[in-house]
Chain A
């Protein structure tokens, strides 16, 4: 295929974005969404074609145009289309297409309808540019561009104080990650003299022993580059401690939570590390670092999911935790497993989010799971698809999530890194936690007593309070539902009902891969040399090798799993959730009372937001005020500039007094002057 065939994929959604964004008013709602959806569909079908072509062995690495030339280095916009990028393109375009369709229903009453389509199409374009890049610079372009669209979409309802707080926070936290990322790119350019993947990966082995040119630090070069790049991934993929933005990003409309904050953008960091595998493989330190960060995220963010009552936030914390799993897999050098989990997760998490959105629509924009219950009777399609999503998430054998998650656990068990023990504990314990919070939510929403249609326990004061404290925001808003639609949950006596077909059809279409994709893809993707050209694994990192030896087909794997610890932990999690929330709701309440401090800790999300607000945001504001008032105004302007002006002014005042304008003053001065001069003259003679 030549370059035009590849260009179609990102450019089609861009056309859609421009049409809906700039001509949305002229086109109207229907035509805007028709064009946007058609364009994403074009991208999807073209991605399928490219995928087939790549599977036939045609790898493409070429330039679209030269962006800049300087100092012998050429910066280009170009594509690298191999199995890794082709897979990502499929995931991105297919989920995006589902979300586009879903949006017709979800946003139907929103005045910003065209703007929304424009944003999600623009996002699709940016994300595609990111995954298709053949160089670091374009990667960074896409990286920041998806960040921009994420910012725009989190703040989509820009009149809500919480939304515009969340989007600023998301952008800035991501910028902290990008800061590291850019420095990493800088070191790459400096050492390799090029930013093209091909040039860098071909030469990376020569620099294994190099010391990083960082004054005052004796760090291995590759380690330094990898860790700096990974800091970028920590921002984008919301890894501890840069995870803080993701839960707040739920302020955005649900379709984008599915597309951006679950399926695609947040996985960019995972993709990036997998893409850079030839480099990361050379640094055990960096891999260990990645594994530790991933483990912490996988386990501790899961805990937070347990106490959330906002349906989207539960799913958000589960996303954080699952991203942690992927990161752990990267640390274990099981890049293909990470990408595999990325793919299955994209489908079932998008499904869960869109399912949550469907529930939210049915509940008239009440997101509190304590106000739901028994919804399965009213919305059977949402119920079944959500159940499928949840089963996939917790790793039920034969479901897609099982194959990917179990492979991660196995890979970690086989990893030789010194931190693998902790990581193994975290990912196994995480299974229980995941099962527990997922089914807690599932039971509270779809089963049990119908709690909707009652007067709800939160009020509008929360919003007013937020508006007032806006910039001194703290996170006491964990359980209000930020709704600026007129309706606020179901009225008494009102019943929820199934959402229109544009909403449930994507659920069904996503449910299919959520069940099947793991079963189908595991063998070729993990063990068939699928990524052999895209992902490099060092000889001595044998986890994948052993994993392959232990693998005897997907059925055997699922059957074998029935006897392993993770399966029983998952079952225990589901059982406990059923017992607590269906049979004995008094027990969790009692536990919460007894272990109040734990609950408070979790409710405050380990106090990260508080700390960041106090230390970083407050610190920056304080430093700013001090520097400005003392440095600029008092010292430079007050003392030096105006001070010297005043001095001149005072001197001038004295001198001016002499210029009186009276002849006799001048005559007198002259006489005195002559007298003095003559005196001096005679003196010296």
Chain B
């Protein structure tokens, strides 16, 4: 409770209210005010989520901070919120990034400032809703609502090809989630009229139905993750999105899909999950290797990091579908870490883009000569992206590789190739952009990062290192819920 208000509701609605406030400042004459309100909203939005961590009971897998109110009585739909070890950290992660993207767009966004800021605030609230919803319809509403601000962000503040990218993004993800709605309605009928996700977890379901349900959910979630072969919207969306959009897309949006697997697919259809695990593992490993290779030859920095994200998310789905504790916990830690690292990398690219207005690797060279402080930060994040121990990225990768070896040595073997590919594409890009002699007059005119940018990157650097050196406080949260999930998975529901 914060001031007598339930924590999760505050985490959802406070940013949305601030978003509306910001929008109310009107046109760009009031831009400075809009920025300030947005920052206050973002910071407050993060602060109010902290009680979720401090008040979290690590000893139980039950839902905590539960709020349950009637909503649409006719269909037995509730305003039902709660978090467990699987979802709680993502609410923090999401709220953590809101002030960061507000700051990142501080000087760069000059047109429609209020609308830009408010889109991010509103999205932050909606995404918190996705992670906290325990009622399937509520979840679905948040899930689809999430698309709207992102669609607007890409479509309005994006690059030259933004409309194609925005529509591709929208259709891809919308089409994926339609079948999920069908599955949810089927489950509603099967359960005798309940939309409670936790009720779904205990439903006995015949195999054929489980497989169909799994596929329906798969389409919705795999697109969001994104898994091979439904990943091609992501590079386009990233390339066209403004920096803040890319950050949220990579840090938060991709996590929603993976979260869905844990909240819906696996516990609701455990037998189908086992049956289709081979396919899921294959797709994950393809993502790791194929996409890792594809990333190597990208000429556009954002595309490169986008592909690298897909490859890293391959680790996440791999970790899920090998069904052991290391795997799922590792995958969850990988998701959190990937949020920090990919977010930071997109911010770094944004720093360069704001100055030179190009994302092409070949437009740079020798940036370190002019921006040594920036180069140091970028190096840290590049190394994190290569999975260097001591950075957050290592934790998840390490655990998933360990988990994979436990199941089948060759899974681990295939997954561990990321050690080589990840380093190759990241450091090769780094080399071409940062090292070398000053390549052209654009680079020669660069100025190092300013105080605002330093603060943003420093916060992320501390987080990345902190989590890498001491992941225990993150992992601690997960144990009970993951054990419980694994228990679900061992019980057949036929």
Contact = CB atoms under 8 A, between A and B. Distances in A.
B431 A190 contact: no
Contacts of A152: 379
A627 B410 contact: no
A599 interface: no
Contacts of B369: 159
Q: What's the interface size class on A, roughly?
A: 35 or more
Contacts of B399: 68, 70
Interface stretch (A78-86, A177-185, A259-267): A177-185
A214 B419 CA distance: 20
Contacts of B427: 151, 168, 171-172
Nearest to A141: B389
Given A183-B412, A187-B409, A70 B294 contact: no
Interface in A583-615: none
A472 to B, nearest CB: 13
B424 A172 contact: yes
Contacts of A212: 409
Interface string A452-475: 000000000000000100000000
B423 A627 contact: no
A327 B333 CA distance: 38
B486 to A, nearest CB: 10
B15 interface: no
Q: What does DSSP make chain B's interface, helix, strand, loop or mixed?
A: helix
A500 B434 CA distance: 35
A68 B472 contact: yes
A631 B294 CA distance: 9
A621 interface: yes
Contact of B420 (A137, A155, A179): A179
B463 to A, nearest CB: 17
B431 A144 contact: no
Q: What does DSSP make chain A's interface, helix, strand, loop or mixed?
A: helix
A620 B325 contact: no
Contacts of B75: none
Interface string A156-196: 00110100100010011001101100110111011000000
A140 B416 CA distance: 14
B411 to A, nearest CB: 10
Contacts of A171: 423, 427
Contact of A144 (B171, B389, B402, B424): B389
B423 A636 contact: no
B394 to A, nearest CB: 8
B91 interface: no
A5 interface: no
Given A67-B470, A67-B472, A171-B427, A627 B408 contact: no
B447 interface: no
A145 B297 contact: no
B186 interface: no
A219 to B, nearest CB: 10
Interface string B363-386: 000101100000000010001000
A164 B295 CA distance: 20
Which of B326, B412, B419, B424 is most buried by chain A, counting CB atoms within 10 A of its CB? B419
A66 B294 contact: no
B406 interface: yes
Contacts of A556: none
Contacts of A670: none
A621 B428 CA distance: 12
B471 interface: yes
B181 interface: no
Contacts of A140: 389
A172 to B, nearest CB: 6
B472 A175 contact: no
A258 interface: no
Interface string A635-652: 011001100010000000
Nearest to A484: B437
A624 B297 contact: yes
Contact of A176 (B293, B410, B420): B420
A667 interface: no
B436 A70 contact: no
Contacts of A168: 427-428, 431
A645 B170 CA distance: 13
A215 interface: yes
A193 to B, nearest CB: 10
Given A69-B472, A70-B326, A175-B420, A215 B232 contact: no
A71 interface: yes
B368 to A, nearest CB: 6
Contact of A164 (B294, B326, B405, B435): B435
B168 interface: yes
Interface string B300-343: 00000000000000000000000011100110000000000000
Given A168-B427, A171-B423, A175-B423, A213 B409 contact: yes
B331 to A, nearest CB: 12
A553 to B, nearest CB: 45
B294 A632 contact: yes
A186 B294 contact: no
Given A71-B325, A148-B383, A168-B431, A66 B472 contact: yes
A178 B435 contact: no
Nearest to B298: A628
Contact of A190 (B172, B402, B470): B402
A65 interface: yes
A624 B294 contact: yes
A158 B232 contact: no
A263 B298 CA distance: 39
A624 B292 CA distance: 8
B428 A159 contact: no
A141 B390 contact: yes
A203 interface: no
Nearest to B168: A641
A212 B410 CA distance: 12
A155 B435 contact: yes
A15 B471 CA distance: 22
A634 to B, nearest CB: 11
A162 to B, nearest CB: 11
A151 B430 CA distance: 13
A625 interface: yes
Interface in B464-491: 469-472, 475-476, 479
Interface string A232-264: 000000000000000000000000000000000
Which of B172, B324, B413 is most buried by chain A, counting CB atoms within 10 A of its CB? B413
Contacts of A640: 229
Contacts of B107: none
A623 interface: yes
The 6 closest A-B CB pairs, nearest first, are A186-B405, A71-B325, A624-B297, A624-B296, A164-B435, A158-B435
Given A159-B366, A164-B435, 11 more contacts: A67-B472, A70-B325, A137-B398, A158-B435, A159-B435, A168-B431, A178-B419, A182-B419, A183-B413, A186-B402, A624-B296
30 contacts: A65-B470, A68-B399, A68-B471, A69-B472, A69-B475, A70-B330, A70-B479, A71-B324, A71-B329, A137-B398, A144-B390, A159-B436, A164-B435, A179-B420, A182-B401, A183-B412, A186-B401, A189-B402, A190-B402, A190-B405, A190-B406, A212-B409, A213-B409, A214-B410, A620-B293, A620-B296, A620-B421, A621-B296, A625-B297, A641-B232
Interface of A: 65-71, 137, 140-141, 144-145, 148, 151-152, 155, 158-159, 161, 164, 168, 171-172, 175-176, 178-179, 182-183, 185-187, 189-190, 212-216, 467, 620-621, 623-625, 627-628, 631-632, 636-637, 640-641, 645
